[in-house]
Amino acid sequence: MDEILGTVNGMKFTLGDSILELSYLFAALLFVWGLKLLSHPETARRGNLWAAAGMGLAMLTTLLLHKDHAGNGIPLTNVWIILAAIGIGSVIGWIVAMRVKMTAMPQLVSFYNATGGAASALVALLEFPKAMAGDFTSLLVTVLGLIIGSVAFSGSMIAYGKLDGKVGDIFAGYMKYINISLMLITLALGAYLVFSGIPPIELTWGIYLLLILSLLYGVLFVMPIGGADMPVVISLLNALTGIAAAMGGFIYSNEAMILGGILVGAAGMILTMLMCKAMNRSLLNVIIGAFGGGGASISHEQGTIREIQLSDAAVLLSYSQKVVIIPGYGLAAAQAQHMVHELEEILEAKGVNVRYAIHPVAGRMPGHMNVLLAEADVQYEQLVEMDHINPDMPNVDVAIIIGANDVVNPAAYDDPGSPIYGMPIINAHLAKNIIIMKRGMGKGYAGIENFLFFNEKTRMLFGDAKSSLQKLVNEIKSM
């Protein structure tokens, strides 16, 4: 492996270096292939495995073949420490992933985002003195890695707390001005550290102050986030974690980290833009921390609530031609995905065409409903995106809304004072009949009234979603 093949800029280039570079290229190809497979639910599991294999290859070849500028490999003691850390982390990750409930999946994603951001920030913090002694590019990527990694860490932890109900919202109007000011101060300090030219020992205070400001901005950036906007924030934080990892790759001149981080960051940003479009929001609203805050629904005259009996619901569904099921977070909270799949199978056996209408931001993270229904073995072909299902909603005999609220709220169309005004929704109100399954008359995650409840075509089926679905299935079977 130490056979010298040539020199590049005065540095010796060995066979081991060639193998290492080729392994990074192959790892990058596996990342891209895995990312492509992740774009479809039926292949997503294999895509995750291929991408993980690429990362495993990059880690293995780095441990075996990496050499510093002096030609020295990684000390054996450090290798064993790294392997031990990987082993411990893998065991903990496996246990957590196997035990986590589907309702807590968004929290798990936020926590994983936080760990990635923290790792990148620590790398930048440790390498700052070396970067100060190096060139401009090294210093720039180190400072950016610290800022982005810290924001991703603290922001993701606050997102975790909010999703888990441990952290509340702050909707004060002045928060946006505080966030803008703090962001500008943080960037200004970062620029000062990059361009000052002062020796590292004299800038120790600056790098730690930058760490504190970045962590604080991550907290205040996510605190005002409310309503149904959390999927967008999770996607953005995921993108920041990827960008921070890429900065770490630049610090260590590690092509695998750079490519992996860029792919995660780019995919996260594309998803964020799609989420923003689905919420009719701008990315600027997210960055300044005004996302999801403010806005009060104008007053409406509440109509009459009409309930439906299980027997009547069973008859209506059994003699329908088209039924659309619209799932939301309440379906995940009730762990009712398997029961809704059983209802779907029974109706299809009676000749009913059953589809699921999926809103891009239904649930608490991007793709939450897709993952939930895939767990229950619902066929992907039956999951129809909002834009494709809406034109056919007037022809639907029954729309069954299970745990969804804001994504079917007509206030998005007719209430200019509503926080969700202008947000694209699933047009459940156009269906011929509407059945809403809810525990009670509670408001959705956006905290606003849903006047679909009072629509003359709407019937409420109160109770726990899983229990109600089980009773409905039994009622249809007995017919």
CA dist 131 → 128, 138, 180 (Å): 5, 5, 28
Q: Look at residue 298 in the predicted model and tell me its pLDDT.
A: 43
The three-state DSSP-derived secondary structure of 426-467 is: CCHHHCCEEEEEECCCCCCCCCCCCHHHHCCCEEEEECCHHH
Q: Look at residue 371 in the predicted model and tell me its pLDDT.
A: 82
Q: Phi and psi of 324, rounded to 5°? A: -120, 125
Percentage with pLDDT > 70 across the chain: 86
This prediction has a pTM of: 0.78
Q: One digit per residue, pLDDT tens: the chain, 479 residues?
A: 555 544 545 455 566 677 888 888 899 899 999 988 887 777 888 998 999 999 999 888 888 887 766 667 778 788 899 899 989 988 998 898 888 876 777 888 889 899 999 999 999 998 888 887 777 888 899 999 999 999 999 999 998 888 877 776 666 667 778 888 999 999 999 999 888 876 656 677 888 999 999 999 999 888 887 655 677 888 889 999 999 999 988 888 888 889 889 989 998 898 888 878 777 777 776 666 544 444 444 444 556 788 888 999 999 999 999 999 999 888 888 888 999 999 999 999 999 999 999 988 887 777 888 888 888 888 888 999 998 999 999 999 999 999 888 889 888 888 777 777 788 889 999 999 999 998 766 555 555 678 888 888 999 988 888 889 999 999 998 87
Q: Name the catalytic one among 406, 414, 415, 464.
A: 406
Q: Measured over all CA atoms, what is the biggest interatomic distance in the chain, rounded to whole angstroms? A: 84
Q: Look at residue 339 in the predicted model and tell me its pLDDT.
A: 93
310-477 CATH, one of 3.40.640.10, 2.60.120.1440, 3.40.50.1220, 3.30.479.30: 3.40.50.1220
Count of beta carbons in the 10 Å neighbourhood of residue 440: 7
Question: Using CA atoms in the order 358, 361, 367, 369, what is the torsion angle rounded to 10 degrees?
Answer: -50
Mutual angle of helices 15-38 and 255-279, in 10-degree steps? 20
Return the structure tokens found at 153.
């860490």
Q: Look at residue 122 in the predicted model and tell me its pLDDT.
A: 93
Q: Look at residue 297 in the predicted model and tell me its pLDDT.
A: 43
Q: Look at residue 345 in the predicted model and tell me its pLDDT.
A: 92
406 catalytic, yes or no? yes
Residue in 190, 277, 252, 60 with CA at minimum distance from that of residue 261: 252
Give ∠ CA 455-456-458 in degrees, rounded to 5.
65
Q: Look at residue 340 in the predicted model and tell me its pLDDT.
A: 93
Q: How far apart are CA 442 and CA 447, in angstroms?
A: 9
Tens of pLDDT, residue by residue over 376-402, are 888 888 999 998 999 999 999 999 999
Query: Are β-strands 383-385 and 353-358 bridged in parallel, bridged antiparallel, or unpaired?
Result: parallel
Give the residue extent of every domain in the chain: 1-99, 117-294, 310-477
Return the structure tokens found at 22.
């080729």
